[in-house]
Chains A and B, each alone.
Chain A
Amino acid sequence: MSAKRHSVIIGLSAIFAVLATLHAAQSQNEVGTVSIYVDLSTGFLSAADPKATDLSASIGGVPVPIVGLAKGPQQISGAVLIDTSDSMIPVGVSRAVRRIASLSRAGDTIFAASFGRKVLVSRTPRSQPGAAEAVGREIDQKGGPSPLWDGIDACVRAVADLKGLRAVVVGSDGRATANDLALDDVVARAVASGVVVSVVGLADSALQASSVRIIGRNDGLKRIATETGGSYGEIKGHDDAPLETMIAVLASHRSWYRVELGAAPSGLKGLEVRFRGRLVRGGGTSR
């Protein structure tokens, strides 16, 4: 199995950067459909819901039929990853778990996770009585370093084989330390598994008082969000609540569209396909 990068260009009109990834391990004789989840909620599209016939798509320059377009709410298989390290604004894990639990809808599978001295991912099913308290105990920790990439990777692995829109939302200052895994490897695994990673970062103004302004501090987080098709945003002040923003980001994923792409070009059979694309309306052209 080799890996190739291909563009998906879906014709709408204006300019969206859409990045979606999936693992299309099709056999030589089977041409299946593949799904990508895209955020069409911004820009002029909010005025009118697009239809499949409004769109056109190509992969690597080869036209691909769009056989389905499903508006949200989407089933979410996700993880909310909390930074409890010493360098981060303290987050109350118990409260976070209760808020995350309140986000769940029927059919969802949502994990809570934290990273600090350890990477901890909840395992208690949401339906279990007292689940929020149990999950709180499972991921509770305070202080320590920032194994950010290890934490994202653990969350990606937790949701990778689940159904629906698979997403990880992480809030962090970006100062990754004590990781066993390299950023490159974590990005590669997330891309290959098709899990969307969205990020709530911290602007310099939101850091602890004696922090040093470091150029590129959030580059790794921006990169993993961009390459997996997730969103990236920053909170600006100490009083902003990263948790509430993380909850809102994961909730917003529910309204994304699922685009079903038809027969993939034969040259893609059996390959791990990495899609990168953008949306334009009315047959607009590529960037």
Chain B
Amino acid sequence: MRTVPVYATVRSLAGHFVPDLTREDFEIRDNGNRRDITQFSREIVPITVTVMLDMSGSREQFVEWFRDGVRAFIDALLPADRARIGTFGFEISISPRLTGDHKYLHRIVNEEIWPGGPTPLYEAVDEAMTSLKGEEGRRVVLFMTDGYDTYNRGRPASAGPVVKRDGTFGPAAPWSKADDVIARARREGFMVYAVSYGQATNGVGQVMGPPLADAMKTIAMESGGGFRTFASSQQAVQAMTEVADELHHQYLLGFEPAVLDDKTHSLDVRVKRVGMTVTTRRSYVAARK
């Protein structure tokens, strides 16, 4: 029987990490049924992450904030951590080397940030997950974005036309890429974080709504990651540093499923002590293979 890993962030009511819990402090329910915790660790789990920056037209003026944020994230990485840096706009690009070399990562940030283009958000999420294919352990994709896809076919027709890569507008197709990436994150156990600038606008400056579209929030929360917002360079730095800090303060729990049925199972992880909140993935696929 295989072990399902569950990474858990536990905070006190004041929002501080709680680092000293034991296996007995946790409870895991799989489809409502309590399971024994067969794996437990509170050691720092090295970060394996692909960081993606939204270069779309709506984000042009915030590129320097993005740079500041991702630089802070790189500086917060520990020696065992590894990262790729990518962007999405006209292109979806991801640095070819998964590395802990801060100089290499800073070079990407300094040389390879080119604002402009549409927002192929869900395609970018998909490619970011693919960039970590074959990696063991906790795999994280971290996005700095407004959360609104303006390129791919995932938008409902009611949301209006999409901005195509050549800058013209075209009709949205019915297929939902967002659903695909949610399913993939669940099936393959990716953890998704999103850090978003205040209010999203489309390619012609129209306000599209509050930060982070619902689909992106769903992906982040379902996966056990999270989302944060910022409205200044300083807040971008703070948000990205917090994500790195959170990833360095997660418990690793594991359990063996009662049945491997290739179906999606709900997960409910609780801490028995009073006054603590726990964040984990909310589901997993009990894959036979």
Contacts and interface: CB of A to CB of B under 8 A. Distances in A.
B57 interface: yes
A211 B96 contact: no
B167 A212 contact: no
Contact of B107 (A177, A182, A214): A182
A87 B91 contact: yes
B111 A178 contact: no
B184 to A, nearest CB: 20
Contacts of B107: 182
A220 B116 CA distance: 19
A147 B115 CA distance: 17
Given A175-B114, A178-B96, A182-B111, A210 B91 contact: no
Given A87-B90, A145-B93, A217 B114 contact: yes
Contacts of A179: 95-96, 111-112
B90 A211 contact: yes
A83 B203 CA distance: 26
B91 A176 contact: no
Nearest to B107: A182
A176 B108 CA distance: 10
A135 to B, nearest CB: 24
A75 B167 CA distance: 43
Contacts of B91: 85-87, 144-146, 175, 177
A180 interface: yes
B165 A208 contact: yes
The A interface, classified by DSSP as helix, strand, loop or mixed, is loop
A210 B115 contact: no
A208 B90 contact: yes
Contacts of B93: 144-146, 177-178
Interface string A122-145: 000000000000000000000011
A11 B86 CA distance: 49
B111 A176 contact: yes
Contacts of A214: 114-116
A209 interface: yes
A175 B166 CA distance: 16
A44 B6 CA distance: 75
Instruction: State which size class the interface on A falls in.
Output: 20 to 34
A210 B92 CA distance: 16
Q: Which of A144, A145, A209, A217 has the most CB of B within 10 A?
A: A145
Instruction: State which size class the interface on B falls in.
Output: 20 to 34
A214 B118 CA distance: 16
Interface in B191-231: 203
Given A208-B167, A210-B203, A178 B94 contact: yes
A209 B112 contact: no
Q: Which of B57, B86, B94, B117 has the most CB of A within 10 A?
A: B117
Nearest to A182: B107
Interface in B177-191: none
Interface in A176-199: 176-180, 182-183
Nearest to B57: A210
B168 interface: yes
Contact of B118 (A178, A180, A210): A210
Q: Which of A182, A183, A212, A217 has the most CB of B within 10 A?
A: A212
Interface string B97-114: 100000000010001101
B60 interface: yes
B206 to A, nearest CB: 15
Contacts of A180: 95-97
A210 B116 contact: yes
Contacts of A147: 96
Contacts of A150: 96
Q: Which of B86, B95, B114 has the most CB of A within 10 A?
A: B114
A279 to B, nearest CB: 33
Contact of B166 (A85, A182, A208): A208
Nearest to A150: B96
29 contacts: A85-B91, A86-B90, A86-B91, A145-B93, A146-B91, A175-B90, A175-B91, A175-B114, A176-B112, A177-B114, A178-B86, A178-B93, A178-B94, A178-B95, A178-B96, A179-B96, A179-B111, A180-B97, A182-B107, A182-B111, A210-B116, A210-B163, A210-B166, A210-B203, A211-B90, A212-B57, A214-B114, A214-B115, A214-B116
Interface of A: 85-87, 144-147, 150, 175-180, 182-183, 208-212, 214, 217, 220
**Closest 10 A/B residue pairs (Cβ):** A210-B167, A209-B167, A145-B93, A177-B93, A212-B116, A87-B90, A178-B93, A175-B114, A86-B91, A180-B96
Given A87-B117, A212-B116, A214-B114, 10 more contacts: A145-B91, A145-B93, A150-B96, A175-B114, A177-B114, A178-B86, A209-B166, A210-B57, A210-B163, A211-B167
